[in-house]
Structure 1
Amino acid sequence: MKLKFQENIDKIKNCPSQNEKGEMNLFRCVESEISEKSFVPQAVLLKPKYQDMCIAWGISVFNSFDSANQMLKNLSKNKRNNYSKIARGIINDSHGIKHGGNNKKHYTFFPTEEFNILENFEVVNRND
């Protein structure tokens, strides 16, 4: 399975180091109009600051709407103007690697090259 940014990920030892198996609902803070721009990893946005940090090549996601919403509330006012919605994706093993860290509410998702963000994530409300 080839991941997006594989050539950069390969430069980091043991990256990513683990993969949560199975299908998961994962949530992410996104712009009001969902686009690829809402899913750019930190290593790309903040070159070269995070080039050597494994999780910076993945996408920060959460295991519940409430966890993503809490992150949204913690963003600066300026960032909240840009990232004002929450999107949900139903992610399975063929979509990429779901790396869980110490915080069991947060994951880093490393999508495969073929994974289409716009087809697999949609903006949701609390009731969805």
Structure 2
Amino acid sequence: MKLRIITPLSVPVEEVGIVSVRAEDESGGFGILQGAADLLTSLVPTVVSWKRQDGTQHYCAVRHGELTVSNRGDKVDIATREAVPGADLATLGTLVQEHFREKEDLGKNANVASVGLQLAAIRLIAGRLRPDGHGMVQ
């Protein structure tokens, strides 16, 4: 089975040789094995887990998404806005916390830049509207 988890900007997980996949939607947790019926479902925030043929288990935290099973369970695709892969649950928790901290910092920086642009626009408009006529476009 092939598993692919994609975000708008990257493909954090793309693996072949997968034996099983587990995820969670509104109805609860479920598993997918080779030969499963085609399926389309909306995921809730969940940890997707999968087992490789060598028996190792891997994980990826996703924040909502659409899971598609096709080709009689041979292909599982998950499209999500955010995905944080990890080798085990202990490190995954840490990685998710770091991801959200980075995202929060980026959001703060974007807000500061946005306010700066708004202030620059206000200054430009105010300068063009001065009653003494200086700065007005003619």
Question: Which category of TM-score, normalised to the shorter sequence, fits these structures?
Answer: under 0.3
Q: Normalising by structure 1, report the TM-score.
A: 0.25
Structure having the higher Rg:
2
**Structure with higher strand content:** 2
